[in-house]
A and B are shown apart, each in its own frame.
Chain A
């Protein structure tokens, strides 16, 4: 079974530029998550999709971050404009079940390491 795919793996941009990340979840997984992991910290949830609808985006900085999941499969996360503090690894995860399912388990992609100069 193929895992969660993400691209690009690395990205270096200057502040105020825009950047987009792509995620392809495990086939058939209903729920998709985007996390931000700053160096030395644990992953922090940015946004959660259930099929193609947003379940939780309470920690997404909506003035500069946006995300979409068209057709309930692939997803993109965009930052525009980027700030220095956005330097982090952006992780995508997916799970077969809905978050309300007791046995829901997330599976993670390799992440995209973003450096903002």
Chain B
């Protein structure tokens, strides 16, 4: 079965530290890629998405992600995190053949003020 792996389940950073969250998927065909964020007490919100073209995608709140096809990866980055970035982050993949969405297990980020 196709899968999406987020290797870091819990990440703790101090404010101003740089962030990189890993996301790897197993589907070998065409994919659409997404990062969603869930702030405490809120619903899942779209952070950024990749459909085609430039593999470096910029999203809201200073986040970006890079699609590396050869590594089946779509890692999320932010150069300097803020306390307000404390949330859970989910990577999702939409398979081009089946059009199914598959989510990773999420990464809980805690940013210390």
Residues of A that sit less than 8 Å from B by CB = 3-4, 33, 35, 40-45, 56, 91, 93, 99-100, 102-111
Contact = CB atoms under 8 A, between A and B. Distances in A.
A56 to B, nearest CB: 7
Contact of A91 (B44, B92, B106): B44
A33 B94 CA distance: 13
A103 to B, nearest CB: 6
Given A45-B101, A91-B43, A99-B99, 19 more contacts: A4-B43, A33-B101, A41-B105, A42-B4, A42-B90, A42-B92, A42-B105, A42-B106, A43-B90, A44-B103, A93-B44, A100-B99, A102-B51, A103-B51, A104-B94, A107-B46, A108-B36, A108-B43, A109-B43
Interface in B72-97: 90, 92, 94
B52 A102 contact: yes
A108 B45 contact: yes
Nearest to A107: B46
Shortest Cβ-Cβ A-B pairs, 5 listed: A42-B103, A99-B99, A108-B44, A110-B43, A43-B103
User: For the side of the interface on B, what is the size category?
Assistant: 20 to 34
A99 B96 CA distance: 9
Contacts of A93: 44
**Secondary structure type dominating chain A contacts:** loop
Interface centre among B4, B42, B106, by most chain A C-beta atoms within 10 angstroms, is B106
Contacts of A103: 51
A45 B95 CA distance: 13
B22 interface: no
A52 B90 CA distance: 28
A102 to B, nearest CB: 6
Interface string B51-77: 110000000000000000000000000
25 contacts: A3-B43, A33-B101, A40-B106, A41-B105, A42-B90, A42-B103, A42-B105, A42-B106, A44-B103, A45-B100, A45-B101, A56-B100, A91-B44, A93-B44, A102-B51, A102-B52, A104-B32, A104-B94, A104-B99, A105-B34, A105-B46, A105-B49, A106-B101, A107-B46, A108-B36
